Structure 1
């Protein structure tokens, strides 16, 4: 069965993204919502879904296999104007939500008990935040493919520059992510011209060393 409708792909991506999110939240409730538990659960689920993708690739035709491989090479040039409009609307709505809850996230940074003492419904804020993050991630990945390390590296870079205050960290991360992606896309178009590298290749090459550096610096502090 071949599905050519990108919106069906988006809905499917969102459904399975929410399944993964629900599993992470469920395990976090059982084992405690520590960053280590959430990261390890995410790694395990990533391996599981990667195995599922490999299973589908094994039975795919040459054309289908090429399409899957091309999709894994995330690239911003593949989106149409209508898809770009949809992504823009969803990103703006998501940014408004997170900025509206900036004080709640500041309180949660101080600890769950402190946040609850300040009147923050920690479980609801965390659930809504992960749901919206899952939605926007599913839409962007479905339309653009997998572009890694942008959302992983940029918040840490911005945090080192402006601190942990979510009033500045959230918009700063958005700006830094856009700048990094734009710079990577520009380099990808010029580095081996007239050929155009997928932007995900550049973000991985730049993001992985930077993230390792940030981890090392974090442990030294």
Structure 2
């Protein structure tokens, strides 16, 4: 009896130790993200010291308490240009990394992500469709604005999000339907995502061919991936979308943990697996597609962040989802900062940086990890 109680006590202590370690990882990632964000706001063709950055933030939040920095241009650069870009990178990183982690759990495949399932290409096709055909279909209304909750939003931005979401979700549904066929392996699922991505790429090429110079420039920007669409209006649209979608999937973290044990186990515990998969894919596709409508194609965030976090804290989705979100935001923010400064004052697309990082990351997993992290 005493041995049993002692064993239970040790198990409880070990459990609490592991939980504290996971919380420590989350807190560490949050602090690093906050620190990097402050540094990134000051880095650029015009350097702004961290003290001036904090002074700008303090003056914006509490104008009666904190004075603005001596450099009058610092406030303009930080608030009008760099801060929206930093926030867009963070939101996009959160959405893509969370989508990758959730998709991997729902489809029980460690290689799926918004990029490999063709969602990125499909969303960009939807955005390009609005860029090219929007003025023709909607006329003068396309350049108008809509007042929502006292904030004016452009019709173009709202249509971009809606179209990107519809086509992004379509790609995920097609891959999901293929995965439901008999004898479909994980490799076939990835190949299906690649093929669907190619189909939407063909559509993009067609739109580029028939578009005028202005539309063609916008489409090319989307394909390269970047934070050039960062505005306070974009942040006002994306912040509630990403926040609500993250809360919705985090609330189902236990169900994701259960699903990892198999569909039969999940069904026996009262989970409607079919409905759960569809609703989960719908939620994360909406968040990822909305961000991709402003950033264009950005790959590998949804693959890298969940894999790294699994190495750090395991497969418990209660911690894996927030850790992936924080790490995804950190990866994309650092990549965008490098893209801004590496050839300053010329900016290169952040998609180029992500392709390089993603390629080296998976080469590391294959050669050093012997593929065990991809199993």
CA offset at residue 117 of structure 1?
Answer: 1.7
Is 1:195 the counterpart of 2:357? The answer is no
Is 1:105 the counterpart of 2:256? The answer is yes
CA offset at residue 214 of structure 1?
Answer: 2.3
CA offset at residue 79 of structure 1?
Answer: 2.2
TM-score (norm: length of structure 2): 0.56
- Look up the SS of the partner of 2:335 in the other structure: helix
CA offset at residue 46 of structure 1?
Answer: 0.3
Is 1:219 the counterpart of 2:371? The answer is yes
Q: Higher helix fraction: Structure 1 or Structure 2?
A: 1
What is the aligned partner in structure 2 of residue 210 from structure 1?
A: 361
What is the aligned partner in structure 1 of residue 288 from structure 2?
A: 137
1:77/1:68 CA distance change after superposition, 3 Å: closer
CA offset at residue 170 of structure 1?
Answer: 0.4
Q: Give the 5 Å matches for 1:56-205.
A: 56-205=207-356
CA radius of gyration, larger in: 2
CA-atom RMSD in angstroms: 1.9
Partner Cα distance (1:110, 1:93) in 2: 27
Is 1:28 the counterpart of 2:193? The answer is no
1:60/1:147 CA distance change after superposition, 3 Å: same
CA offset at residue 45 of structure 1?
Answer: 0.6
Conserved? CA contact 1:94–1:132, under 8 Å: yes
Partner Cα distance (1:34, 1:122) in 2: 19
Is 1:45 the counterpart of 2:196? The answer is yes
TM-score (norm: length of structure 1): 0.92
1:212/1:130 CA distance change after superposition, 3 Å: farther
Partner Cα distance (2:189, 2:286) in 1: 18
Number of residue pairs the alignment of both structures matches: 221
* Structure 1 unmatched runs, 5+: none
- Look up the SS of the partner of 1:76 in the other structure: coil
CA offset at residue 6 of structure 1?
Answer: 2.2
Conserved? CA contact 1:156–1:214, under 8 Å: no
- Look up the SS of the partner of 2:271 in the other structure: coil
Partner Cα distance (2:357, 2:276) in 1: 32
Partner Cα distance (1:30, 1:83) in 2: 39
Partner Cα distance (2:372, 2:261) in 1: 22
Conserved? CA contact 1:31–1:37, under 8 Å: no
Partner Cα distance (2:283, 2:370) in 1: 28
CA offset at residue 2 of structure 1?
Answer: 4.5
1:112/1:215 CA distance change after superposition, 3 Å: farther
- Look up the SS of the partner of 1:123 in the other structure: helix
Partner Cα distance (1:135, 1:218) in 2: 34
Partner Cα distance (1:209, 1:197) in 2: 19
Conserved? CA contact 1:106–1:165, under 8 Å: yes
* Structure 2 unmatched runs, 5+: 1-131, 135-141, 143-155
